[in-house]
């Protein structure tokens, strides 16, 4: 059932308070991608077990499969059933129209990523379209996130190691971050400091000194995309510096698929799929709980 505008505004106001608490108290709210209902159950159970605030998020592929309003309804149902503090983020929305649709569906967080659809988009084009979403988001109070560059990698397990020196060429700079935040009016800046979408055969390295200079140069929230495959100590330091949102996807997908393959191999004559999902959900839940601990958000949920 669609939310009323008043309910959307109340939810977005609560989301603003939640992200402010995270920044003030030096923890990050985990933003965990959904592939299906099983991953939503896993995130919800992890949030309840850890008493932690969480975001669940969907990107364009999941939007086409699941539908914005269906996700809104499912999240609201699980929030009520498990009494957890949970918000929805529209992740890497590739166009102004898609971002507006997320706002109209009552999503509390909107990531507008023009470079996702056009890797060669100019910074001027990105700024112009991001400003349009920021203005439209005033309707509900949704928080808008963006960045002035294409974010590399993909939500998969890669067999080839990345070239760190090559990635460094796309790192955020304090000057560029400050200019982009000032010109767009965004609520959250997606920083690039060594974080990269996907899982790789080598661990990721975050430039925490750079992160500190970016934190000192802007006054909005900072997010880190591509959190999978990152040693936990980087997250522990990043939240102390002032990161308040961290995205996780590939680690969950790897746990889901590898566990499902194991369960299928062990149960070759079982065709009631629902009977095979408990172990899969538990594996994904374990990943989410481990991230919540690294993000210092355990015990930080506001009572529902």
Phi, psi of 50, deg, nearest 5: -95, -5
**Separation between Cα atoms, residue 37 and residue 86, nearest integer Å:** 15
Q: Specify the pLDDT at position 152.
A: 63
Q: Specify the pLDDT at position 164.
A: 65
**Separation between Cα atoms, residue 126 and residue 118, nearest integer Å:** 10
Q: Does the residue 301 lie in any domain?
A: no
Q: Does the residue 288 lie in any domain?
A: yes
Q: Does the residue 303 lie in any domain?
A: no
Closest by CA position to 35, among listed 54, 56, 55: 56
Q: How many CA atoms lie within 13 A of 97 on its CB side?
A: 1
Task: List Cβ neighbours of 110 (8 Å cut-off, separation of 6 or more).
Answer: 89, 90, 93, 99, 102, 103, 133, 137, 142, 143, 144, 145
Q: Specify the pLDDT at position 162.
A: 63
Q: Specify the pLDDT at position 119.
A: 80
Count the Cβ atoms, other than its own, within 10 Å of residue 104: 18
Residues β-bridged to residue 275: none
Q: Which domain holds residue 271?
A: 5-294
Which residue spans within the chain are E strands per DSSP? 29-33, 54-58, 86-93, 109-112, 143-146, 153-157, 188-191, 197-199, 221-224, 243-248
pLDDT per residue of the chain (304 residues) written in tens, 0 to 9 = 789 999 999 999 999 999 999 999 999 999 999 999 999 999 999 999 999 999 999 999 999 999 999 999 999 999 999 999 999 999 999 999 999 999 999 999 999 999 877 888 899 999 999 999 999 999 999 999 999 876 665 666 666 766 767 778 889 999 999 999 999 999 999 999 988 776 676 788 899 999 999 999 999 999 999 888 899 999 999 999 999 999 999 999 999 999 999 999 999 999 999 999 999 999 999 999 999 999 999 999 997 7
In the chain, the largest separation of any two C-alpha atoms, in whole Å, equals 60
Task: List Cβ neighbours of 250 (8 Å cut-off, separation of 6 or more).
Answer: 155, 156, 157, 197, 198, 199, 228, 229
* 8-state DSSP, 3: P
Q: Does the residue 253 lie in any domain?
A: yes
163 is catalytic: no
Count the Cβ atoms, other than its own, within 10 Å of residue 206: 21
Q: Does the residue 39 lie in any domain?
A: yes
* Total domains in the fold of the chain: 1
Q: Does the residue 153 lie in any domain?
A: yes
Q: Of residues 11, 35, 91, 113, which has the active-site annotation?
A: 91
Read off the pTM: 0.94
Q: Does the residue 280 lie in any domain?
A: yes
Q: Does the residue 245 lie in any domain?
A: yes
* 8-state DSSP, 111: E
CATH number of the domain at 190, please.
3.20.20.70
């Amino acid at each position: 059932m669609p939310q009323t505008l008043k309910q959307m505004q109340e939810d977005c106001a609560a989301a603003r308070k939640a992200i402010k608490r995270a920044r003030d108290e030096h923890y990050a709210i985990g933003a965990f991608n959904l592939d299906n209902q099983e991953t939503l159950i896993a995130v919800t159970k992890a949030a309840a077990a850890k008493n932690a605030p969480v975001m669940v998020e969907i990107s364009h592929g999941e939007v086409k499969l699941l539908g914005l309003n269906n996700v809104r309804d499912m999240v609201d149902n699980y929030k009520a059933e498990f009494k957890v503090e949970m918000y929805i983020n529209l992740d890497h929305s590739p166009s102004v129209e898609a971002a507006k649709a997320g706002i109209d569906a009552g999503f509390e967080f909107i990531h507008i990523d023009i470079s996702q659809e056009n890797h060669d988009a100019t910074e001027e084009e990105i700024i112009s379209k991001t400003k349009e979403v920021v203005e439209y988001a005033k309707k509900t109070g949704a928080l808008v996130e963006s960045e002035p560059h294409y974010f590399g990698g993909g939500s998969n397990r890669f067999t080839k190691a990345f070239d760190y020196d090559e990635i460094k060429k796309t790192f955020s700079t304090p000057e560029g971050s400050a200019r982009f935040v000032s010109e767009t009016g965004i609520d959250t800046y997606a920083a690039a400091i060594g974080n990269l979408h996907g899982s790789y055969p080598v661990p990721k390295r975050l430039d925490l000194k750079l992160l500190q200079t970016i934190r000192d140069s802007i006054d909005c929230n900072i997010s880190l995309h591509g959190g999978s495959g990152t040693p936990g100590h980087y997250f522990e330091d990043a939240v102390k510096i002032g990161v308040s949102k961290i995205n996780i996807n590939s680690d969950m997908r790897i746990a889901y698929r590898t566990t499902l393959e194991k369960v299928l191999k062990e149960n070759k004559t079982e065709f009631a799929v629902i009977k095979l999902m408990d172990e899969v959900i538990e594996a994904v839940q374990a990943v989410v709980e481990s991230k919540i601990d690294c993000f210092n958000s355990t015990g930080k949920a506001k009572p529902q």
